[in-house]
Amino acid sequence: MSAPSWVLVLDGTACEGHGICALIAPGRVHLDRFGYADVSPTPLRDAAELARARRAVRACPAGALSLTARPGDTRGARRS
């Protein structure tokens, strides 16, 4: 089994539309037409992207962002 992958998660009910996250992690976070965050659900690709996501989580004044570890890719693994 490979290492876990990380996913940036948004609590849309907590988002206040400050937009700081989109400035810090523009490849991961986009703002909708009302200025609220929309986060890509795909796993973070590399260490640099993970570092930007961590900075965005820390910078969110509303605490609407978090990082979640998902189990590593097990495609092709055999079940016993």
Q: Which residues have CB under 8 Å from 32's CB, separation 6+? A: 38
pTM over 0.85: no
**pLDDT per residue as tens digits for the range 48-68:** 999 999 999 999 999 999 999
Q: CA distances (Å), 53 to each of 20, 24, 74, 79, in order?
A: 12, 8, 24, 33
Could you tell me the residue ranges of all domains in the chain? 15-69
In this model, does residue 78 exceed pLDDT 50?
A: no
Judge: domain 15-69, CATH 1.10.510.10.
no
